[in-house]
Amino acid sequence: MSEDRTPGRAPGRTPDRPQDPREVQEFFGVRAADWDRKFPGDGPAFRTAVAEFALRPGDRVLDAGCGTGRALTVLRAAVGPAGTVIGADVTPQMLAAARDAGRDAEGALLLADVARLPLRDGVLDAVFAAGLIAHLPDPTTNLRELARAVRPGGRLALFHPIGRAALAARHGRELTPDDLRAEHNLGPLLAGSGWRMTSYADEETRFLALAVRTG
């Protein structure tokens, strides 16, 4: 999910990283069955990120763009049996892979575009989003939609199991100043979308930006 500038595209976008929901479905649909096998070592990074997210027992948390549901087990452990865990994804094949892995036992799986969530205003305490931001067609509007579904003071985690430089190298690209996840870009983006960034980590083995809903 590297995010170089390509002529004719908004900053932070690449031609092989789809943003349109139909493109996302096509891109991930054919990859769903092998997704977990392709990234077998990501578990520790997910666990560390959720631990730093500091969810509380009883919290209501959405895994936005949950894919095969790799975060659901860790999120369930964090919020406990009294909490609510929802995994939302726009790709049916990804949700089917999550069910095949038994992860629907950890939370409700919802076929939905996170840009138009079928959730009431302020119903959530937190949103966890792994690898999502590169696939948002309109990041400001879409992050504002996530904020709509979260109560004031609720939290957001933007996560990836490897850092920006490692991710760019994986795709054979170099980082550019307009990288959407760069701290100098992400902070203002969040501020304009109903969030205030509270911490930022971009390391070889993980990317994690935490934010609080304002208003």
Q: Could you tell me whether strands 195-203 and 206-213 are parallel, antiparallel, or unpaired per DSSP bridges? A: antiparallel
Does residue 89 sit in helix, strand or coil?
A: strand
Residue 210: pLDDT band with limits 50, 70, 90: very high
DSSP of 139-198, one letter per residue?
Answer: HHHHHHHHHHTEEEEEEEEEEESS-HHHHHHHTT----TT-TTSHHHHHHHHHTTTEEEE
Query: Residues 134-183: pLDDT tens digits?
Result: 889 899 999 999 999 999 999 999 999 999 999 889 888 888 898 999 99
Query: Residues 81-131: pLDDT tens digits?
Result: 999 999 999 999 999 999 999 999 999 999 999 989 999 999 999 999 999
φ, ψ of residue 65 to 5 degrees: the values are 70, 50
d(CA 195, CA 154): 9
